[in-house]
């Protein structure tokens, strides 16, 4: 009989909530019309899309017209940043620990004539606001800082960053992919102009996401996908109706469950972390105070994380971003907050979900403790 799968890689993707799946199913087989068709069948499906858009907007404190549907956070990030190429200001400020989707897109913008400043962070993974202030120039167009880091879970002071940006007439984009569903996010309160999100990070389907575009900021984005202009003439392509319905339902569910989930997950994460830190030499990477409730990134000195993942067998954990998992290079995030190559290559991220149980936590504690001891013994 196969061993029970113990899934502790929820920052990479989450298990879909069955209620989300049930909400989506009719739009594969019964309500299958194109949402932009102008016959009654299409109009009825279009109404369901509109309802989902409203649910998403309400969830993040936005207006429905400010929600652009995309294939996911990576596309949303590309649209948000590349879509600003026509602006006369040509300076972007971001940080070294951003997701590769932001860093690679910023690199592309450098080839298009933009100047990009990559700010360092302190050992807790937090941005020095005085450094940001000193970096702002007259031609600074955009500040890109993620709301919560995908590897360490560290939460950035977006509200303070936005206040500083607004004083200087600078746009703010925050990648909220990891934060949505774990933190209460209100775009108006945080002062955000552009915000990508992705359904599969909070119990929704893969292949669907959205980009919030502030109406108040009067942002004009250049299209990256041309065609029918289905999404406010900014993003073309036949709408992924089942995915959109799933995204809306996922927002509805996590909104109702967030307080309960946060308390439950925090208790489990703290117990897991407390027990694993009993292993000699271990330490947490990044801020312990300012982070997501579900994430702990722990360094196990003297143990190679790739060998550890193989030895853990049925326990799924991560040694970096899922989007960078094809490489064996040390995490750019952990390197950026001061870890050595050896320390970064000895670190494991454990990320929990609402489906994680206390029994699973105990099994992981037992197995990780055993594996670390065995691997260290082999190295001696």
Residue with tokens 């909400």: 23
The total number of residues shown for the chain amounts to 380
CATH of the domain at 75: 3.40.640.10
- Asked if 287 and 189 sit in the same domain, the reply is no
pLDDT at 1: 37
DSSP 67: E
Q: How far is it, in rounded angstroms, from Cα 200 to Cα 345?
A: 27
- Asked if 299 and 181 sit in the same domain, the reply is no
Regions in the chain scoring below 50 on pLDDT: 1, 324-326
- Asked if 264 and 132 sit in the same domain, the reply is no
Q: For residue 56, tell me if it sits in a domain.
A: yes
Q: For residue 109, tell me if it sits in a domain.
A: yes
Q: How far is it, in rounded angstroms, from Cα 95 to Cα 156?
A: 11
- Asked if 116 and 263 sit in the same domain, the reply is no
pLDDT at 323: 53
pLDDT at 256: 97
Give the largest Cα separation in the chain, rounded.
72
Q: How far is it, in rounded angstroms, from Cα 212 to Cα 102?
A: 16
Last residue of a domain, one of 220, 252, 284: 252
CATH of the domain at 329: 3.90.1150.10
Note whether 74 and 267 are within 8 A (CB). no
pLDDT at 324: 47
- Asked if 176 and 300 sit in the same domain, the reply is no
Q: For residue 286, tell me if it sits in a domain.
A: yes
Q: For residue 64, tell me if it sits in a domain.
A: yes
Last residue of a domain, one of 252, 275, 304: 252
- Asked if 278 and 375 sit in the same domain, the reply is yes
- Which parts of the chain are beta strand (E)? 6-7, 67-70, 91-95, 115-119, 140-144, 171-173, 194-198, 209-213, 283-284, 295-299, 315-316, 347-351
- Asked if 128 and 269 sit in the same domain, the reply is no
Q: For residue 317, tell me if it sits in a domain.
A: yes
* Residue 325 CA neighbour count, 13 Å, CB half: 14
- Asked if 188 and 271 sit in the same domain, the reply is no
- Asked if 193 and 48 sit in the same domain, the reply is yes
Domain of residue 299, residue span? 6-15+258-379
- Asked if 220 and 188 sit in the same domain, the reply is yes
Please identify every residue annotated as catalytic: 323
- Asked if 64 and 194 sit in the same domain, the reply is yes
pLDDT at 342: 96
Q: For residue 1, tell me if it sits in a domain.
A: no
Domains identified in the chain, total number: 2
Question: Which value, to the nearest 10 degrees, does the dihedral of the CA atoms of residues 114, 162, 181, 197 take?
Answer: -20
Last residue of a domain, one of 227, 252, 277: 252
- Asked if 101 and 222 sit in the same domain, the reply is yes
Q: For residue 143, give the 3-state DSSP assignment.
A: strand
């Amino acid at each position: 009989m196969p061993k029970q799968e113990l899934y502790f890689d929820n920052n990479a993707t989450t298990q879909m909530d069955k209620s989300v799946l049930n909400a989506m199913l009719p739009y594969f087989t019964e309500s299958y019309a194109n949402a932009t068709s102008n016959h009654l069948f299409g109009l009825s499906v279009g109404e369901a899309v509109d309802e989902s858009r409203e649910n998403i907007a309400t969830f993040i404190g936005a207006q429905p017209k400010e929600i652009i549907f995309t294939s996911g956070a990576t596309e949303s990030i590309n649209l948000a940043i590349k879509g600003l190429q026509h602006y006369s200001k040509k300076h972007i400020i971001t940080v070294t620990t951003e997701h590769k989707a932001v860093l690679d897109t910023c690199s592309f913008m450098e080839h298009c004539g933009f100047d990009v400043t990559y700010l360092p962070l302190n050992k807790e993974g937090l941005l020095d606001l005085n450094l940001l202030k000193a970096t702002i120039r007259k031609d600074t167009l955009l500040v890109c800082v993620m709301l919560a880091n995908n590897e360490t879970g560290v939460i950035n002071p977006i509200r303070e960053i936005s206040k500083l940006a607004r004083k200087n007439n600078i746009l703010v984009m925050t990648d909220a992919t990891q934060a949505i569903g774990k933190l209460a996010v209100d775009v108006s309160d945080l002062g955000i102009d552009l915000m990508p999100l992705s359904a599969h990070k909070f119990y929704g389907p893969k292949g669907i996401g959205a980009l919030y575009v502030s109406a108040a900021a009067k942002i004009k984005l250049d299209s990256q996908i041309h065609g029918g202009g289905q999404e406010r003439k900014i993003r073309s392509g036949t709408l992924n109706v089942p995915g959109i319905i799933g995204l809306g339902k996922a927002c509805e569910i996590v909104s109702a469950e967030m307080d309960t989930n946060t308390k439950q997950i925090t208790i489990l994460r703290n117990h897991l972390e407390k027990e694993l830190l009993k292993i000699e030499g271990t330490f947490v990477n990044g801020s312990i105070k300012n982070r997501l409730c579900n994430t702990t990134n722990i360094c196990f000195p003297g143990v190679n994380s790739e060998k550890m993942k193989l030895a853990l067998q049925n326990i799924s954990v991560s040694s970096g971003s899922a989007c960078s998992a094809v490489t064996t290079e040390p995490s750019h995030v952990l390197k950026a907050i001061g870890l050595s190559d050896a320390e970064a290559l000895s670190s494991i991220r454990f990320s929990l979900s609402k489906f994680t149980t206390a029994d699973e936590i105990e099994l992981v504690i037992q197995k990780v403790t055993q594996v670390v001891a065995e691997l260290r013994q082999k190295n001696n």
